[in-house]
Amino acid sequence: MIKRSFFALSKPRLTYDLLEPDPDGPRAIPLPDLVTLLLTEAIDNTRPALIKKGDPMKKGQKLALYEDSTAYVVSPVAGTIKSIDTYPDDFGEIATSITIAHDPEKTSEIEPLELPEDISSAAVHLKKLPGAPPFDILADENFTIRTIVITGADTDLLTTTSQYVSTAHARDLEQGAAILKRLTGTARVCLALPEGINGHNRFNSLQVLKTSPVYPDTLPAMIMKDHLDTVLPAGKTPEDMGICFIRAEAVVSLARTYEKKALVFEKHLTLVDKAGFRHRIKAVIGTPLRHIFNQLDIQINDQDRVIIGGPMQGSATFTTHHPVTPETDTVVVQDREILPKISDTPCINCGKCIQICPASIPVNMLVRFLEVDQFEEAAEKGDLEACIECGLCGFVCTSQIALGQYIRLGKHELHKLRAEV
């Protein structure tokens, strides 16, 4: 963990971890006996379900709960469904977890794939590729996407997954970008890549945006501001402004799917263990984290923290059975001894958050509104919606207020309030 320096006249500077010049390849994690898939739809017992416990599965088969569901997952293995359970996320939204027992004898049972020739059928078949390509957004007629930015620069600290995938698989990335252009008809596809790593010269057909190594300059809103001359209006998404961000790994997966004419299921990730050592691994989507920890001999004890994502923006999971999903780039394990404290001391108005906030939000005012649940006022006078959720205010807070939690909860409640009106 990065601590405050002895002298702190200016604001602290957190920098991204850059890919080493000659990176090793990922360690492949063997396929577990059980894979778990997370489906973003709640179980509704009153409706007839399409799938049930004991159903046989082919590799590559699409699973959806109901006839009219748009949410789906794709089975990475052939086998049978072992269980279907509800699975709450950290805001209490209910998802469904589907556990599939892998049957090694049925490896040849693969669902045939017809390669999509337009973006809406890509949304129907390829949404769950490793890297989770945002085909829903690209296919949505409400958005006019003029620019696609491939994020080869990791958005959080400690991790190097995106940098590794984009530079080690530069050829696939360029091919994937070409397929993306063909499917969407978008003229401009750029690649955001941190300056200071090797491999910038591997891309001929893509415009490379060199991002600075200072956190949070690779977050979408910052890339838009610094490289695309577009300021993201408060409360809007990049899609509203005609810009779509896509993980480098999604583009690489797309190219491989078209090349092999079959779906791919292996996800690259960076796992940071308790000692801060970085493991680059490759695991099939659905692999429970516990299986990976066992493979790497990482001991998880009570009160440790397992973070899906990086230290500044990730989310902590409550179970080591949480699986690798198409979005999982990073897993950080923190020992309980080093967990920072959170206190209920009120804001002392020291101004460190104001000094560090990249979005110029009056965090000291904002937190006063959020503490008393005044969400509309927080949006109006505290600029709640301008927050890009980089987490820097919570990192420097002298009072150790859980600012990130207040802000995320505030946005969540604000959306609920506005939806009711």
Partner 1 sequence: MNNTKLTVSHAPFWHDGDSVFQKNLNYMLALLPAAIFGILQFGAPALGVMALSLSCAMFWELVINLVSKKPATIGDLEAAVIGLLFGMMLPAITPWWLILTGTFVAVFIGKMIFGGIGSSPFNPTLLGMAVLMMSWNMFFDFDTAYVDYDFAFTAMAPLAAVKTQGAAAADFFALGDLFLGREVGAIGAVFGLGLVLGGIYLILKGYSRWELSVSFIAGILITAFLFHAASPDAYAGPLFHLLSGYTLLGAFFLITESASSPVNRIPMLLYGFLGGFMIILMRNVGDYADGTILAILLVNVVSPLLDNIRPNALGKGMNNA
Residues 203-232 contacting partner 1, CB under 8 A: 221, 225, 231-232
307 forms part of the interface with partner 1 (CB under 8 A) = yes
Helix axes 403-420, 363-371, angle to 10 degrees: 60
From candidates 302, 337, 419, 421, binder to partner 1 by CB under 8 A = 302
| Angstrom distance (rounded) from CA 416 to CA 113 | 39
Cα dist from 397 to 8, 119, 315, 411, whole Å: 14, 45, 19, 20
**Residues 236-265 contacting partner 1, CB under 8 A:** 236
Give the residue with the Cβ less far from partner 1, 209 or 241.
241
DSSP element (H, E) containing 377? helix 375-381
Give the residue with the Cβ less far from partner 1, 104 or 346.
346
What amino acid occupies position 276? Answer: G
Give the residue with the Cβ less far from partner 1, 263 or 378.
378
Give the residue with the Cβ less far from partner 1, 105 or 302.
302
312 forms part of the interface with partner 1 (CB under 8 A) = yes
350 forms part of the interface with partner 1 (CB under 8 A) = yes
Q: Which residue has the tokens 């779906």?
A: 263
DSSP element (H, E) containing 119? helix 119-125
What amino acid occupies position 334? Answer: Q
383 forms part of the interface with partner 1 (CB under 8 A) = yes
CB of 99 to partner 1, least distance (A): 11
Strand pairing category for 243-247 and 330-334: unpaired
Phi-psi map region of 389: left, alpha, beta (phi>0 left; psi -120 to 50 alpha): left
300 forms part of the interface with partner 1 (CB under 8 A) = yes
Q: How many CB atoms lie within 10 A of CB 273?
A: 18
Candidates 29-37, 69-77, 107-115, 310-318; binding stretch for partner 1 (CB under 8 A): 310-318
Q: How many CB atoms lie within 10 A of CB 72?
A: 17
Which tokens belong to 179?
A: 């397929």
CB of 385 to partner 1, least distance (A): 8
**Residues 358-377 contacting partner 1, CB under 8 A:** 358-362, 364
Give the residue with the Cβ less far from partner 1, 214 or 339.
339
From candidates 282, 398, 412, 413, binder to partner 1 by CB under 8 A = 398
**Residues 317-346 contacting partner 1, CB under 8 A:** 317-321, 332, 334, 336, 339-343, 345-346
**Which residues, at least 6 apart from 400, have a Cβ–Cβ distance to it below 8 Å?**
340, 341, 342, 343, 345
CB of 164 to partner 1, least distance (A): 22
Which tokens belong to 260?
A: 């092999």
311 forms part of the interface with partner 1 (CB under 8 A) = yes
CB of 171 to partner 1, least distance (A): 35
Fill in the DSSP letter of residue 222: H
301 forms part of the interface with partner 1 (CB under 8 A) = yes
Give the residue with the Cβ less far from partner 1, 52 or 341.
341
**Which residues, at least 6 apart from 3, have a Cβ–Cβ distance to it below 8 Å?**
none
400 forms part of the interface with partner 1 (CB under 8 A) = yes
CB of 378 to partner 1, least distance (A): 12
From candidates 86, 144, 207, 315, binder to partner 1 by CB under 8 A = 315
> If binding means CB under 8 A, how many residues of this protein chain bind partner 1?
80
Which tokens belong to 319?
A: 């179970």
* Cβ atoms of 335 and 274 closer than 8 Å: yes
* Cβ atoms of 164 and 19 closer than 8 Å: yes
Give the residue with the Cβ less far from partner 1, 23 or 235.
235
3 forms part of the interface with partner 1 (CB under 8 A) = yes
| Angstrom distance (rounded) from CA 58 to CA 193 | 37
Which tokens belong to 177?
A: 């970008």
For residues 16 to 55, the per-residue mask of contacts with partner 1, x marking binding by CB under 8 A and - elsewhere, is ----------------------------------------
397 forms part of the interface with partner 1 (CB under 8 A) = yes
* Cβ atoms of 363 and 392 closer than 8 Å: no
144 forms part of the interface with partner 1 (CB under 8 A) = no
What would the DSSP string read from start to end of 304-363?
-EEEES-TTT-EEES-TTPBP-TT--EEEEE-GGGPPP---PPP----HHHHH-TT---H
Q: Which residue has the tokens 């973006």?
A: 119
CB of 59 to partner 1, least distance (A): 26
For residues 67 to 106, the per-residue mask of contacts with partner 1, x marking binding by CB under 8 A and - elsewhere, is -----------------------x----------------
